Amino acid sequence: MSKKGRRNFSAAFKAKVAVEALKEQSTLAELASKYEVHPTQITEWKKQLLSGSEELFETGKKAHKEADLEQEKDELYKVVGQLKIENDWLKKKSLNRSLAKTGRLALVNKAEKRLSIQRQCELLDLPRSSYYYTPSEETAENLDLMDMIDKTHLKHPYYGVKRMRAELSTPQRPLNEKRIRRLMRKMGLEAIYPKSNTSKPCKWNEKFPYLLRGVDIERANQVWSTDITYIPMARGFMYLCAVIDWQSRYILSWTLSNTLTTDFCIEAVQQAIDRYGVPEIINTDQGSQFTSEEYVTMVKGYGIRHSMDGKGRATDNIAIERFWRSLKYENIYLYSYKSSLELYTGIKEYMAFYNEERKHQSLEEKTPKAVYMGLNDPTAFTTENFLYGSSSFGGLTA
């Protein structure tokens, strides 16, 4: 039996796949199946496209300067040779030991001619087979199970793997903890309960204290919250990030993505700031997207005070958690969207309903929009006198 050779992808092919991933019109699993490419590789190409897009607009002296710097860099690499390259990789390895396996896989760069794929995998403590492995899509049974896990987690957020297995397992369909644990990790779900401080946070991920304990939230834009949730679909799933105003429960912006990366979280917060100004405090959980250097730099750049939930605290980000429950039970679970376009349209319609029509008992039977805008008469709002926000399907934002 002949050994299968390595696949070499052209720059045009990489760009095509990255652009399609950037459109967010298909899940990562659908793209991987369509193009026969590892999902991790698609995520890496998407990141490269985003980070390299600025170079398209570089002109004049800056472009020449960067070209000179690149030439000097190449000459230095020739001088120091293979030893320097491997030392750089060893430094990268030591800085990324806390990364999950998928994160380390994304660091493998096929375009690096001086280091083979095998050597890169060795430096990152990965078996080479992991890089070439193409995971199969989740079965229909697993997608149904993920849907059940999501619903159960909303009702009982304190259920861990053991209790989740006990809740969903039946004599006709026995489940093991390993399967439940894998699916919960893929969905980004974790049991919520106070935990002992037995480990210290990663030193290069900055953490912030919880600033809302005992604070009276009495005005719009005093406190915002943002979070990510898993959205099940008929085939695959997407991730939704939203920004909410605590005082009014008004949804300020939202974005959809087929990958659990930082960029779509930054985009959601940036859109909210562009439309409604800068809040005093923004609260998040301790997820890697919100402790990333890019996100923290953006928040600090606007002078916003960054508040973070305590690890495993169920009520620290209660405003956005309640909204996720409303969204899923009043829309997502009812329609079982079959495509990203259908999902985007459905969420957009629900957001308008939630903000402009759905009255809240806690808001004295007013809508979030009425409270946020400071008007007592909700009927004063119309589509003509208030623009909810421009939106385009290409970026799956609203």
| Domain interval for residue 293 | 223-395
35 with 183, same domain: the answer is no
Instruction: Give the model confidence (pLDDT) of 372-386 as tens digits.
Output: 988 544 443 333 333
What secondary structure letter does DSSP report for 54? Answer: G
- Whether 44 is covered by a domain: the verdict is yes
144 with 98, same domain: the answer is no
User: Looking at residue 194, what is its pLDDT?
Assistant: 45
Whether the per-residue pLDDT at 116 is higher than 60: the answer is yes
- Whether 205 is covered by a domain: the verdict is no
Q: Which of 87, 115, 132 is the last residue of a domain?
A: 132
User: Looking at residue 200, what is its pLDDT?
Assistant: 40
Whether the per-residue pLDDT at 218 is higher than 80: the answer is yes
User: Looking at residue 157, what is its pLDDT?
Assistant: 76
d(CA 299, CA 306): 7
Q: Which of 93, 113, 132 is the last residue of a domain?
A: 132
Is the distance from CB of 248 to CB of 220 less than 8 angstroms? yes
Contacts of 53 (CB under 8 A, 6+ apart): none
- The amino acid present at 41, given as its one-letter code, is Q
For residues 264-272, average pLDDT: 93
**What are the DSSP calls for 51-100, one per residue?**
HHGGGGG--HHHHHHHHHHHHHHHHHHHHHHHHHHHHHHHHHHHHTTTS-
- Whether 207 is covered by a domain: the verdict is no
Q: Which of 69, 97, 132 is the last residue of a domain?
A: 132
User: Looking at residue 383, what is its pLDDT?
Assistant: 31
For residues 358-373, average pLDDT: 89
Q: Is the dihedral of CA 355, 359, 361, 366 positive or negative?
A: positive
Residue 119 has φ and ψ, to the nearest 5°, of: -70, -40
46 with 73, same domain: the answer is yes
- Whether 68 is covered by a domain: the verdict is yes
Is the distance from CB of 249 to CB of 368 less than 8 angstroms? yes
Placement of tokens 């990364």 in the chain: 99
Q: Is the dihedral of CA 180, 181, 187, 193 positive or negative?
A: positive
Contacts of 267 (CB under 8 A, 6+ apart): 255, 395, 397
- Whether 41 is covered by a domain: the verdict is yes
Percent of the residues in the chain that have a pLDDT greater than 90, as a whole number: 21
Instruction: Give the model confidence (pLDDT) of 41-95 as tens digits.
Output: 888 888 888 777 666 665 555 656 666 677 776 666 665 566 666 666 556 555 4
Q: How large is the angle between the packed helices 161-168 and 140-155, nearest 10 degrees?
A: 110
Which strands make up the sheet holding 305-308, listed edge to edge? 250-257, 237-245, 223-232, 281-284, 305-308
Which of 205, 134, 347 is CA-nearest to residue 355? 347
339 with 253, same domain: the answer is yes
Whether the per-residue pLDDT at 103 is higher than 90: the answer is no
Q: In whole numbers, what is the pLDDT of the chain averaged over residues?
A: 78
d(CA 335, CA 319): 24
Is the distance from CB of 356 to CB of 251 less than 8 angstroms? no
82 with 102, same domain: the answer is yes
126 with 148, same domain: the answer is no
- CB neighbourhood size of 310 (10 A): 16
Which of 220, 36, 48 is CA-nearest to residue 132? 36
Whether the per-residue pLDDT at 268 is higher than 90: the answer is yes
Instruction: Give the model confidence (pLDDT) of 25-35 as tens digits.
Output: 788 888 888 88
Query: For residue 354, what is the domain's CATH number?
Result: 3.30.420.10
Contacts of 386 (CB under 8 A, 6+ apart): 369, 373
Which of 186, 316, 176 is CA-nearest to residue 246? 316
Residue 223 has φ and ψ, to the nearest 5°, of: -140, 130
User: Looking at residue 392, what is its pLDDT?
Assistant: 35
- Whether 209 is covered by a domain: the verdict is no
User: Looking at residue 56, what is its pLDDT?
Assistant: 60
d(CA 210, CA 321): 16
Instruction: Give the model confidence (pLDDT) of 313-356 as tens digits.
Output: 556 678 888 899 899 888 988 888 888 889 999 999 999 999 99
d(CA 273, CA 270): 5
User: Looking at residue 230, what is its pLDDT?
Assistant: 87
User: Looking at residue 55, what is its pLDDT?
Assistant: 63
Residue 146 has φ and ψ, to the nearest 5°, of: -65, -35
265 with 246, same domain: the answer is yes
The total of structural domains in the chain comes to 3
- Whether 247 is covered by a domain: the verdict is yes
169 with 80, same domain: the answer is no
169 with 107, same domain: the answer is no
Instruction: Give the model confidence (pLDDT) of 149-194 as tens digits.
Output: 888 887 777 788 888 888 888 888 899 999 999 888 888 777 765 4
Which of 355, 243, 387 is CA-nearest to residue 304? 243
- Whether 369 is covered by a domain: the verdict is yes
d(CA 277, CA 271): 10
* Beta strands 305-308; 281-284: pairing state: parallel
User: Looking at residue 260, what is its pLDDT?
Assistant: 82
Ranked by mean pLDDT, which of 17-31, 74-88, 112-126 comes out on top? 17-31
d(CA 44, CA 108): 9
The three-point CA angle 268-272-277 to 5° equals 150
336 with 275, same domain: the answer is yes
- Strand, helix or coil for residue 366: strand
Q: How confident is the model at residue 398 (pLDDT cuts 50, 70, 90)?
A: low
Whether the per-residue pLDDT at 196 is higher than 60: the answer is no
288 with 382, same domain: the answer is yes
User: Looking at residue 248, what is its pLDDT?
Assistant: 92
274 with 382, same domain: the answer is yes
- CB neighbourhood size of 373 (10 A): 15
